[in-house]
Chain A
Amino acid sequence: DIVMTQSPDSLAVSLGERATINCKSSQSVFFSSNNRNYLAWYQQKPGQPPKVLIYWASTRESGVPDRFSGSGSGTDFTLTISSLQAEDVAVYYCHQYYNYPYTFGQGTKLEIQ
């Protein structure tokens, strides 16, 4: 199984500041035949299901604000929120869909400082 490890486990950032969450996979999730990283980021607010923010490591889902961006390749990935808004308070998960079983990171809880 591919193990996904996020850092940090929790993060407190001031409004308007940058938030950065890292995700490392135990093996590469890059598929060379289509040049894609099978890595997604989800946001989950309390009492709600997860919502996809980013897929293919860096493609923003339709309707997601452009302050959210994803980067990285192979085994190391980053989710960046360029200017934190109050509504961004949530738990964020990275997820590999490269092979089965699908796996998720343990989650990063993002709060306002």
Chain B
Amino acid sequence: EVQLVESGGGLVQPGGSLRLSCAASGFTFSSSWMHWVRQGPGKGLVWVSRISTDGTITTYADFVKGRFTISRDNAKNTLFLQMDSLRAEDTAVYYCARASTTLDDWGQGTLVTVSS
């Protein structure tokens, strides 16, 4: 069974940083492209970033480019999202997702709140 468990969320002040993690199990992590998608409170789904199987290809939404960095550790079956220069509008639940055909499997999400 595919399991994705996000962690690292919390309350941070504007301009601060957080590092999210997504622990993967139940599938061959090193063979899967991975994504981050976020959902603001009461809002819809917004794609954030993706990373290739070996980490050499990364893509970002324009609104996080230069502030967020996606990475992975295939030896530890873990996906990361380093978030810097956080803004109030980054407040959201952040989901990691495994891509096979589409975004096939999702974690439960971790809440990031950016507020002073």
Instruction: Tell me whether A95 and B108 are in contact (CB under 8 A).
Output: no
Q: State whether the Cβ of A70 lies closer than 8 Å to any Cβ in chain B.
A: no
Q: Which of B47-94 contact A (CB under 8 A)?
A: 47, 50, 59, 61-62
Q: Shortest Cβ distance from A63 into chain B, in angstroms?
A: 12
Instruction: Tell me whether A49 and B95 are in contact (CB under 8 A).
Output: yes
Task: Report how far A105 CA is from B44 CA in the complex, Å.
Answer: 8
Instruction: Tell me whether B50 and A104 are in contact (CB under 8 A).
Output: no
Q: State whether the Cβ of A65 lies closer than 8 Å to any Cβ in chain B.
A: no
Q: State whether the Cβ of B45 lies closer than 8 Å to any Cβ in chain A.
A: yes
Task: Give the interface SS of chain B, mostly helix, strand, loop or mixed.
Answer: strand
Instruction: Tell me whether A52 and B44 are in contact (CB under 8 A).
Output: no
Q: Which of A49-104 contact B (CB under 8 A)?
A: 49-52, 55-56, 61, 93, 95, 97, 100-104
Q: State whether the Cβ of A106 lies closer than 8 Å to any Cβ in chain B.
A: yes
Instruction: Tell me whether A95 and B109 are in contact (CB under 8 A).
Output: no
Chain B residues with CB below 8 A from A102, complex form: 35, 47, 50, 103
Instruction: Tell me whether B108 and A97 are in contact (CB under 8 A).
Output: no
Contact pick for B106, options A38, A50, A61, A103, CB 8 Å: A50
Chain A residues with CB below 8 A from B103, complex form: 40, 42, 50, 52, 95, 97, 102
Contact pick for A107, options B44, B59, B104, CB 8 Å: B44
Instruction: Tell me whether A50 and B102 are in contact (CB under 8 A).
Output: no
Instruction: Tell me whether B102 and A101 are in contact (CB under 8 A).
Output: no
Q: State whether the Cβ of B9 lies closer than 8 Å to any Cβ in chain A.
A: no
Chain A residues with CB below 8 A from B44, complex form: 93, 104-107
Q: State whether the Cβ of B101 lies closer than 8 Å to any Cβ in chain A.
A: yes
Chain A residues with CB below 8 A from B45, complex form: 42, 44, 50, 93, 95, 104, 107
Instruction: Tell me whether A104 and B102 are in contact (CB under 8 A).
Output: no
The residue of chain B having its C-beta at the shortest distance from the C-beta of A103 within the complex is B47
